[in-house]
Amino acid sequence: MAARWYFDFISPYSYLQWRKLREVLQARAIEPVPILLAAVLDRLGNKGPAEIPAKRAFAYRHLVWRARRDGVPLRFPPAHPFNPLPALRLAIAAGCAPDAIDAVFERIWAHGEAADSVEALAPLLARLGVPPAALADPAVKQRLHDNTAGAIAAGVFGVPTLAVGDALIWGDDAHDFAMAVLDDPHLLEDAEMRRVATLPEGVRRG
């Protein structure tokens, strides 16, 4: 079954899952879809993990620990959160080719380099053969807007998210679950899976 993988370069969790997905995109018919996480969070009235001070410190330390444990190169960029628009537009201008997405993720999260401006991305633009003016192309900007609007309409609430049909599987830590659902969509259709998906709320805040 075809799937869409929603991601934002601002997310180190997207980077971690990308490293697992990179080699299976074609075999599993997964389409990478860059979106602006900030717009999703704004629509939902949510904060990102990095916008909650105690959660930010925990998350960053946990990510460093996970990367060391798993032997994954990880170096945070000079500032985080950062403006991901130039990097997202670069991916779109490059046709969302896996090699281009890979290069952007590597720059930001493996080498810890800035990607928050056209100037910062200049070496990568040259390497990928993408003219700097392409990042200001109205068609590129519209594609990112449409991708993000489509993600919101699909119910996406965070990144990374793998959409398999109507099912949304969120987070790098759910990667094995995502692959299992991709292999067998009926996994979500047994009685208990259906029951918990429609479990009534016992109380609601606010």
Residue 145 within a domain: yes
Residue 203 within a domain: no
**CATH number, domain containing residue 124:** 3.40.30.10
Residue 205 within a domain: no
Q: What is the mean pLDDT of the chain?
A: 96
Residue 173 within a domain: yes
Q: What mean pLDDT is predicted for residues 162-166?
A: 94
Residue 202 within a domain: no
Peptide bond into 81 cis (omega under 30): yes
Instruction: Look up residue 80 and give its DSSP letter.
Output: S
pLDDT at 185 over 90: no
Evaluate if pTM is beyond 0.85: yes
Residue 61 within a domain: yes
Residue 53 within a domain: yes
Instruction: Look up residue 41 and give its DSSP letter.
Output: H
- Reported as a single tens digit per residue, the pLDDT across 188-201 is 999 999 999 999 99
- Reported as a single tens digit per residue, the pLDDT across 88-145 is 999 999 999 999 999 999 999 999 999 999 999 999 999 999 999 999 999 999 999 9
Q: What pLDDT score was predicted for residue 64? A: 98
Q: Helix or strand or coil: residue 170?
A: strand
163 burial level (CB within 10 Å; 0-12, 13-18, 19+) = buried
Residue 204 within a domain: no
- Number of structural domains, the chain? 1
Rounded distance, CA 167 to CA 154, Å? 9
CB atoms within 10 A of CB 128: 18
Q: What pLDDT score was predicted for residue 205? A: 83
Q: What mean pLDDT is predicted for residues 45-51?
A: 91
Range of the domain at 137: 3-197
Peptide bond into 160 cis (omega under 30): yes
Rounded distance, CA 21 to CA 15, Å? 10
